[in-house]
Structure 1
Amino acid sequence: MQLPGRLFELFGEHAIWSDDHEGVSGETLRVTSPTGAFYVKQGPAALAEHDRLLWLKRWANVPDIVAFEEDALVLADAGWRSLERRPLDAGTVMGATLRALHDLPVRECPFDERLDVKLARAAERVRDGLVDAADFDADHAGLTPDQVYERLVAGRPASEDLVVTHGDYTPANVLAPPTGAGEPVLVDVGALGVADRHVDLAVALRELEGPAAGDFLAAYGPAEVDQRKLDYYRLLDELF
């Protein structure tokens, strides 16, 4: 990262920089300094996350923005571990938290992540060689990014059940208080926006195993879960 100089002054000369951390994905560095612990992001994803954090903070618990300059975003470390480290209640916490997010007013969300937008972005990523087929899930192994995109276009659902989605709703992106008391923190919200609820349901159910998946759906509450849409949005996620 080539950060603006004033951000380095924020951390001080004794800061320790590391890319070895849990609970945050993407191009993110963790900084530990005498003034505290922080996460630093830079680039287009940081710009997108900054805008979404400002909007989402009205309704949900998200990291505090410590600084934002040019294309660099500095977030405070919430000090909580992600649900990757709490498998016993991960499904329940994730389900209740996602229901609260999906109940936010769609008309007030300015971020469009519907299929027209996502498929156009996916096409760009395939064209620019940004998709690594080696990272595909086992049931998509052997497909090329072009083949995945062609299947997505051909199998596009006829309708979208629109809600405010997180966009990458995994246990790693939900931080929970150690005592169980308090509202979980949503992190990595750079893909948040209006989209079909199955965007989040598909990714969450892919990550949760055994009883945790049932706990998740029970805590999420009543919803018509369409297996074909779950499969579709899991496939779409391969291109991001």
Structure 2
Amino acid sequence: MTEFINRVPKQLMKLVTGYEVRENSIGHSTCSVFHLRHPSKQGLYLKIQPISNGDLRPEKERLEWLQGKLPVPELLYFDSGDENQYMLASEIQGVPSFDLSFRGDLSNLANQLAMGLRTIHSLDTTCPFSSSLNDKITLVQERISNGSIDVEYLSQHYPNPNLRELFDEMMSLFPDSEDLVVCYGDYSMPNVLLVDGRISGFIDLGQLAVADRYVDIVTVRDTLSYNKLPDECFYLFLKEYGLQELDESKLRFYDLVNRFLG
């Protein structure tokens, strides 16, 4: 606790005095995440991001824009210092959708994931955040050129990868058009919370932006697979989501984009 107190600004410390602090190890974030609990007050989450390797402002801006549109955390405090950024937000009640307690009813799980994504994709595309596909392709090219592609991660999905051949395949699948919606950007099972089998909220929204809906569709497929759910669950999801015909070329294209940038 002493180390925690020494890390946060005094103004922030006033907001969290009296809370029990526990570091959260779930997820793959570059920032430190703390769960703050109080016997008589709503729980909180605090993120501390070293400025040298990340930026919490995109998530801050999205939380502000999403208030009243989706069940998301309420932003309570944000500060950017010389070394760290600090973001304090309310806790959304619920259990991550990967929890084993939901495995007994795959139909309901698929339905909830589909309903949640339909709700997000129905937001007004005048959303101020966008994710340019051309910018992503440029970034992939830069990473191939400077050798910063995570080949170990890529090889988990494409054994013995030849980067140039995979890039050429990806570009051969470049979509003729984009079906633009407000995309979550990381619609994975840890970020979708449920209470009594129903969606209660969404967390970690720093990548939300206008993009092709397949950005999220491919993430759903991957998160279901990663959590060892049967293929049936993905097809149930697609049916409930309302996607009549799966575009396999788009799915492969966005999968390659994600793997290159993962």
Question: Is this a same-fold pair by TM over 0.5?
Answer: yes
Distance 2:145 2:98 in 1: 33
Name the residue aligned to 1:158. 176
Q: Does residue 234 of structure 1 match 2:230?
A: no
Alignment check: 8 A CA contact 1:160 1:195 kept: yes
SS class of match (1:74):
strand
Indicate the larger mover: 62-71 or 158-167: 62-71
2:227 aligns with none
Alpha-carbon distance, 1:152 to partner:
3.5
Structure 2 gap ranges (5+): 225-229
* CA 103–211 in structure 1, closer or farther in 2 if over 3 Å, else same: same
The higher relative CO (CA closer than 8 Å, separation ≥ 6) is in 1
Match of 2:246 in 1: 225
Which region of structure 1 is more displaced relative to structure 2, 90-99 or 25-34? 25-34
Q: In percent, how many aligned pairs have the same letter? A: 26
Residue 75 of structure 2 corresponds to which residue in structure 1? Answer: 65
Give the counterpart of 1:26 among 26, 29, 35.
Answer: 29
The residue correspondences of 1:34-45 to structure 2 (distance < 5 A) are 34=38, 36-42=43-49, 43=51, 44-45=54-55
Change (3 A) 1:184 1:147: farther
Aligned to 1:171: 189
* Residue equivalent to 1:77: 91
Distance 1:233 1:74 in 2: 33
- Counterparts of 1:18 and 1:147 in 2: how far apart (Å)? 42
Question: What is the 5 A alignment of 1:1-240?
Answer: 3-12=8-17, 15-21=20-26, 24-27=27-30, 28-34=32-38, 36-42=43-49, 43=51, 44-70=54-80, 71-85=85-99, 86-87=102-103, 88=106, 89-106=108-125, 108-123=126-141, 131-136=149-154, 138-143=156-161, 148-149=166-167, 151-177=169-195, 179-181=196-198, 183-208=199-224, 209-238=230-259, 239-240=261-262
Post-superposition offset of 1:151? 4.3
- Following the alignment from structure 2 to structure 1, what is the Cα–Cα distance between the partners of residues 21 and 254? 38
Q: Is the 8 A contact 1:11 1:33 kept in 2?
A: no
- Alpha-carbon separation, structure 2, partners of 1:129 and 1:56: 37
RMSD, aligned α-carbons: 2.8
1:124/1:175 Cα in 2 relative to 1: closer, same or farther (>3 Å)? farther
Question: What is the DSSP-based 3-state SS (H/G/I as helix, E as strand, rest coil) of the residue aligned with 2:177?
Answer: coil
Q: Is the 8 A contact 2:46 2:86 kept in 1?
A: no
Q: Which has the larger radius of gyration?
A: 2
Residue 173 to residue 14, structure 1, CA distance change in 2 (3 Å): closer
- Whole-angstrom CA distance in 2 between matches of 1:57 and 1:147: 44
Q: Which runs of 5+ in 1 are unaligned?
A: none
Q: How far, CA to CA, are the matches of 1:146 and 1:10 in structure 2?
A: 51
TM-score normalised per structure 1: 0.83
Q: What whole-Å deviation, never above 9, does each CA across 1:9-53 have from its counterpart, x for those lacking one?
A: 4323774341323xx541341233436342414254411011111
Matched residue pairs, number? Answer: 235
TM-aligned CA distance change 1:227 to 1:154, over 3 Å: closer
